[in-house]
């Protein structure tokens, strides 16, 4: 009978150890999962910051491109105006010669 009690006690100890190991594994998995989620949040924040920075740079590039296009158009118009003026002067000289 004493042997039965010892066996029951040993079985209970083994079950308790198994339960404790199982709880440790579950706690470790939960901690790992939380760490992964935290890491994902940080990555998401970092990617959002990068995206905002990229958008800001794109807007700056768009403004710069707009300004360049505007200035190119202005130069082309001034060149055309000068060519028209030059053509007019040449015509006047021809008509004055004859």
Q: How many CA atoms lie within 13 A of 20 on its CB side?
A: 6
Confidence of residue 12 (pLDDT cuts 50, 70, 90): confident
Using CA atoms, how far apart are residues 64 and 68, in angstroms rounded to an integer? Answer: 6
Using CA atoms, how far apart are residues 74 and 71, in angstroms rounded to an integer? Answer: 5
pLDDT digit string (tens) for 45-98?
888 888 888 888 888 889 999 999 999 999 999 999 999 999 999 998 888 876
Using CA atoms, how far apart are residues 33 and 40, in angstroms rounded to an integer? Answer: 10
Using CA atoms, how far apart are residues 98 and 93, in angstroms rounded to an integer? Answer: 9
pTM over 0.75: no
Structure tokens at 2: 């004493």
């Amino acid at each position: 009978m004493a042997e039965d009690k010892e066996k029951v006690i040993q079985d209970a100890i083994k079950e308790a150890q198994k339960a404790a190991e199982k709880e440790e594994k579950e706690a470790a998995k939960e901690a790992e999962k939380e760490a992964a989620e935290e890491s994902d949040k940080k990555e998401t924040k970092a990617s959002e910051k990068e995206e905002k920075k990229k958008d800001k740079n794109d807007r700056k590039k768009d403004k710069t491109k707009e300004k360049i296009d505007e200035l190119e158009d202005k130069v082309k118009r001034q060149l055309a105006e000068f060519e028209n003026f030059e053509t007019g002067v040449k015509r006047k000289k021809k008509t004055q010669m004859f």
